[in-house]
Amino acid sequence: MSAGCRRDSDRPLVGYRETTLEKWRDWADRIKDDVLQLFWRREIWRGLVDQLDKRQITDSGYFKVAWVRMYVESLAAAIRRHADVDDDAVSLARLMDDLANQAAVFTRDLYMSEVWDMSFVEGTEDWQREAWRQHGHEAFDDWAGRGGTHIDAAKVRTDLEGFRETTDGVVHFVNRTVAHLDRRGGNAR
């Protein structure tokens, strides 16, 4: 268990559940916004590269090398940011760790009411709401097991471990070449 995360048994759930859900909502919104920024940067990068190629602009390579490096470093730093598990970090890894450690808080009822509720959509037919609801239950079953009442901490931990394995190389790259000047080398500029 990483620092800053507590298991359900460490605190009473009175008031704690609501505070935890509020934190998760805030973190999820901030993470989503950050990831959307990555897509936005990618589109800007692609657009500029396309324009340079269309106009057949040639340079000695300095601009394109610098542009590619800025793009790669920006994306790599963002990946590192979401792999961070420090106490002060708001990251995907911390959110997943928190979810795994407090799995009982993330219930099927919560998921269905916040993610799959179609009652507020005007003009929705009963059959559409029922199909949407059924799809929501099937999606939750992927995280909780068929009919499970809350997410399965082991499944979240497996995904977290996969995320860490996937991001380890990027984190190492950023630590050695972007965020720090490393005396061991690897500072290719």
Greater pLDDT, 63 or 38: 38
* 15 pLDDT above the threshold of 60: yes
Going by pLDDT thresholds of 50, 70 and 90, the confidence category of residue 30 is very high
* 1 pLDDT above the threshold of 70: no
Taking only the tens place, the pLDDT of each residue in 63-78 is 878 888 999 999 999 9
Taking only the tens place, the pLDDT of each residue in 139-154 is 999 999 999 999 999 9
Instruction: Write down the pTM of the prediction.
Output: 0.78
- Region for residue 29 given its phi and psi (left: phi exceeds 0; alpha: psi -120 to 50; beta: otherwise): alpha
Going by pLDDT thresholds of 50, 70 and 90, the confidence category of residue 133 is confident
